[in-house]
Amino acid sequence: MNVPDDVRAAMRKTNEVFDTQVVGRQNISELDRVYTRNARVLPPGSPMLEGREEVKAFWQGAIQALGLKSAKLTSVDAEAVGDCVIEIGRADLLVSSGDTITVKYVVQWKQEDGDWKWNVDIWNASE
Amino acid sequence: MNVPDDVRAAMRKTNEVFDTQVVGRQNISELDRVYTRNARVLPPGSPMLEGREEVKAFWQGAIQALGLKSAKLTSVDAEAVGDCVIEIGRADLLVSSGDTITVKYVVQWKQEDGDWKWNVDIWNASE
């Protein structure tokens, strides 16, 4: 757990943009503040997505299909390596049925345009 | 793709140990050559596993449950960051029914005891 406090704060800010802006308001363009330009996203049951256009199309569809209401992201472990952070985390996803789906994830974080963003993003079901 | 050739060769060697020794011969103790001592493994449908004992118990059960015959691992992208490598890959898993299951994965590699090993390992279904 060697990640500086200012980087942790920046990571929390990015996660809040995802939760409140992207998921909460379905403001898909805010994904530019969440993912790097060359981000790779590996959703369960889908081929790897590459770049913001594919990532935006995926989340637009997934948020609507699930009726996703919020995404609370909790860091379980984070390690600074080189100019990156490797994070293991837990996401609690509130969906329109009222159920909460819990998934675990690994994110490689990189700094881009002054913000810390998700450069590689993969998750799967916790149970 | 800034990973030196000798590191790539070491990564391939580790992957071959997993395929031929662990999966092919069900020699579970060879996982010591594959995973770091403090490895975290995030299998779909399971809580996170931590450390070699949990990892060995998982693979012993999974290999038998699936009738896993081989695991061909293909690097899709690998990036050296600090003293680690972050790899995105594809695994083609041959199971006893004769079917091949394809999954995609992200592995954080670290060097330990002279070998390159899996320190964080997460995967999910490709379709």
Asked whether the beta carbons of residue B48 and residue A88 sit closer than 8 angstroms, the reply is yes
The pLDDT value recorded for residue B59 is 98
Mean pLDDT, rounded, for B119-126: 97
Helix (H) or strand (E) holding B55: helix B52-66
Mean pLDDT, rounded, for B25-39: 98
pLDDT digits (tens, 9 = 90+) for A85-111: 999 999 999 999 999 999 999 999 999
The tokens describing B83, both together, are: 């003293």
Q: What is the ipTM of this complex?
A: 0.96
Mean pLDDT of chain B: 97
* Chain-centroid distance, C-alpha A57: 15
The tokens describing B78, both together, are: 């690998």
Q: Is the pLDDT of residue B3 over 90?
A: yes
CA distances from B91 to B22, B45, B103 (A): 15, 18, 5
The pLDDT value recorded for residue B1 is 60
A82 touches chain B (CB under 8 A): yes
Q: Sorting pLDDT into bands at 50, 70 and 90, what band is A1?
A: low
Nearest to B124 among A44, A84, A88 (CB): A44
Asked whether the beta carbons of residue B125 and residue A45 sit closer than 8 angstroms, the reply is yes
The pLDDT value recorded for residue A127 is 85
The pLDDT value recorded for residue B127 is 85
The pLDDT value recorded for residue A63 is 97
pLDDT digits (tens, 9 = 90+) for A6-65: 999 999 999 999 999 999 999 999 999 999 999 999 999 999 999 999 999 999 999 999
Asked whether the beta carbons of residue A81 and residue B81 sit closer than 8 angstroms, the reply is yes
Q: Hey, is A22 helix, strand or coil?
A: helix
